[in-house]
Chain A
Amino acid sequence: MLKPGTYFMEGNEACAEGAMRAGLGLYAGYPITPASEVMNHLAKELPKTGGRFLQMEDEIASIAAVIGGAWSGLKSMTATSGPGFSLMQENIGYAVMTETPCVIVDVQRAGPSTGQATKPGTGDVMQSRFGSHGDYEIIALAPNSVQEMFDFTVRSFNLSERYRTPVVLLADAGVGHMREKFTIPEKVKTIERKRPKEVDKEFFDTHEEDHVPPMPDFGEGYELMVTGSTHLGDGTRDTASFEAQDRLVRRLNAKINDNREEIEDWEEMGCNRADLVLISYGSISRPVKGAVKKAREDGYDIGFFRPKVIWPSPEDRMKEIGKNSEVMLVELSLQGYRMEVERCVGSENLYIFDILNSLPTIEQVYEKIMEVIE
């Protein structure tokens, strides 16, 4: 683990460093381009910090071992890309249902299927939100720099521990393979999961306002019953009653929805008085921001909006923006975030600039802006 200071490194390595700073205790993964550098780095560095490193037989086993690790009391993580992320979906739902804190890094590549393994894409945005079956809410963060690969990894752990839920770090090959300067601060703020107090007997229900029950470890003598089946507050499986299903699923969803304000995060520039606002996220948002700056310097009222936390989406803010300005969504996929942005700003004043395979230049985005406003 690196000492505090400034380094020139790859995004995936910064992610690995962030994880260790956040207190990573167990990593389990399977190699895949363009995410492998996360595990390559951790294989070497994690044992020195006391953490366990496991290369599993596939991505399904990886996420399973991560969940097992979380219940042994450790902060756990895996990293993958689209094909592996698809394989993990069932157990991500299991982690949601059993309220298991863990971090899943998806360094997105161009899909569908094998697609182009080294090229960036953001086609997994909807999958990160809806990929597992059943009704659930999830938290996903979209970094756009090596610094954010570090910072957002730390925050992913903090959010997962805070809300006892899986968190997806939705990076892309652009930011994962990017090399640039980043800083490890002297102090990194970390959050630990809520532990049971003596009186606590229920670890799967709570009447606390934040909807987050305390979580014990295995081996502490609680006779824990952790199950992906619908269960009561003490963990007992209840596969039939309406009340159990209603109470559990609504609380799991409320855990994210009622805490949106604490979770949401975005960056914006000139959105309050703009003719056109460009919405973008991930690596592609970098040339987009550059183009918006250039247009503003040239005297145009153009805004820039970038969700840092992509799920839950900053829907209230996007709705406001949609009321006052026209919007252009710039993303590295055809469908990525489109339905969500369309839902918030409406389809009448929404322009799309979608690009596959590689990042556009500032000039290309600038030209697109000019096309729209003229």
Chain B
Amino acid sequence: MITTKDIRNKYVKNYPSAFCPGCGDGMVLNAMSRAVEKSGIDQKKVAAVSGIGCAAWIPSPYWKVDTLHTTHGRAIPHATGLKVGNKDLEVMVVSGDGDCAGIGGNHLLHAARNNIDLNVLMINNGLYAMTGGQVAPTTEHGEKTLTTPYGNPSQGIDICNVVKHSGASHVARWTTYHMNELIKEIERTIDIKGFSFIEVLSQCPTRTGKKEGLSGVEMLEWYRENTTKNKEEEGIYVGEIQYVERTELTEEIYEQISKRGGKPR
């Protein structure tokens, strides 16, 4: 039985963290660590790439693996270079919804099209939290934020659907309330060859909390009550959204190299 103490000693550093009390980011870090532990892969071969925002801080500086904390929205293309450079690395991308679906949206689309073997965790809190709570591409219509004081005039994006139709091998959605399922899903992404995308709905007790008058605890309760594992039922669907086998970019590139007599350095 792995306990939190074991996980903390083996995978976590620089704690206590800068995350607000009740923030879901620490839960995601816990889930990622447990998934890596369960999968049995070599921790040395795990690389975590992140962009800018609260979620980008989950791996850097808190996760005991090689971390690349990059520029806003660019985690996925950095990770692409890393993975194509060394296919033995298990590359995880941890990104917020603004980082991944907003400024980095184009990269997300093309990484899914390439079906490159990255494991992307998009931590979705529905707004830009680090900068104070501005509207994000995932914010629902009508929501009031710092920059939509009269209500969001746009619609929020269903990013899983976008990634699914862009050609990713594996797409799933969970929330921080579903810790066991999330751990299993992350463990699965490690095995899956191809682009894996997990949207993790996660509470922001500070920004969303202040706006909605909800605590982290209440938001977790909200996830419990408003999500469903049944596609036919009303509510936010959580679970696997897509799994298909498709050609994977890194393998294709390495194959082309060896077919033309080259030896990958």
Q: Which residues of A contact B (CB under 8 A)?
A: 23, 25-26, 28, 47-54, 56-58, 60-62, 64-74, 76, 90-91, 94, 217-229, 235-237
Distance to closest chain B CB from A244 (angstroms): 13
Question: Is B40 positioned at the interface, with any CB of A under 8 Å from its CB?
Answer: no
> CB-CB < 8 A to A228: which residues of B?
69-71
Partner of A51, one of B69, B70, B265: B265
CA distance A67 to B79 in the complex (A): 9
Instruction: Let me know if B61 and A69 touch, CB within 8 A.
Output: no
Distance to closest chain B CB from A88 (angstroms): 11
Instruction: Let me know if A68 and B85 touch, CB within 8 A.
Output: yes
Scan B85-100; emit 1 where CB is below 8 A from any A CB, else 0: 1101100000000000
Distance to closest chain A CB from B181 (angstroms): 29
Partner of B78, one of A48, A49, A68, A220: A68
Q: Which residues of B contact A (CB under 8 A)?
A: 13-14, 44-45, 47, 49, 60-61, 64-71, 74, 76-86, 88-89, 106-107, 109-110, 253, 256-257, 260-265
CA distance A51 to B70 in the complex (A): 24
Instruction: Let me know if A72 and B65 touch, CB within 8 A.
Output: no
> CB-CB < 8 A to B82: which residues of A?
68-69, 71-72, 218
Instruction: Let me know if B89 and A237 touch, CB within 8 A.
Output: no
Contacts A71-B68, A219-B44, A228-B69 given; indicate if A65 touches B84 (C-beta within 8 A).
Answer: yes
> CB-CB < 8 A to B47: which residues of A?
218-219
Residue of B nearest to A221 (CB): B44
Instruction: Let me know if A72 and B265 touch, CB within 8 A.
Output: no
Q: A56-B80, A218-B86 are in contact. List 11 more A-B contacts (CB 8 A).
A: A47-B257, A50-B263, A57-B106, A60-B74, A65-B78, A65-B84, A69-B85, A71-B68, A74-B85, A218-B68, A219-B86
CA distance A69 to B250 in the complex (A): 13
Task: Name the residue among A66, A219, A223 with the largest chain B CB count within 10 angstroms.
Answer: A219
CA distance A195 to B215 in the complex (A): 48
> CB-CB < 8 A to A94: which residues of B?
70-71
- Lowest 4 CB-CB distances: which A-B pairs, in order? A68-B81, A72-B85, A65-B81, A64-B77
Distance to closest chain A CB from B86 (angstroms): 4
SS class of chain A's interface: helix, strand, loop or mixed?
Answer: mixed
> CB-CB < 8 A to A62: which residues of B?
77
CA distance A23 to B265 in the complex (A): 10
CA distance A34 to B153 in the complex (A): 42
> CB-CB < 8 A to A58: which residues of B?
106
Instruction: Let me know if B77 and A68 touch, CB within 8 A.
Output: yes
Partner of A76, one of B49, B74, B81, B107: B81
Instruction: Let me know if B262 and A91 touch, CB within 8 A.
Output: no
> CB-CB < 8 A to B85: which residues of A?
25-26, 52, 68-74, 76
CA distance A53 to B88 in the complex (A): 18
Partner of A219, one of B13, B69, B80, B88: B88
Distance to closest chain B CB from A233 (angstroms): 13
Instruction: Let me know if B69 and A229 touch, CB within 8 A.
Output: yes
Instruction: Let me know if B262 and A50 touch, CB within 8 A.
Output: yes
CA distance A76 to B85 in the complex (A): 9
> CB-CB < 8 A to B256: which residues of A?
47
CA distance A241 to B79 in the complex (A): 30
Residue of A nearest to B261 (CB): A48
CA distance A65 to B80 in the complex (A): 6
Instruction: Let me know if A225 and B60 touch, CB within 8 A.
Output: yes
Contacts A61-B107, A94-B70, A219-B44 given; indicate if A50 touches B80 (C-beta within 8 A).
Answer: no
Contacts A49-B262, A219-B47 given; indicate if A26 touches B71 (C-beta within 8 A).
Answer: no
Instruction: Let me know if B69 and A237 touch, CB within 8 A.
Output: yes
CA distance A49 to B261 in the complex (A): 8
Partner of A57, one of B61, B78, B88, B107: B107
Instruction: Let me know if B81 and A26 touch, CB within 8 A.
Output: yes
CA distance A227 to B90 in the complex (A): 19
> CB-CB < 8 A to B106: which residues of A?
57-58, 61
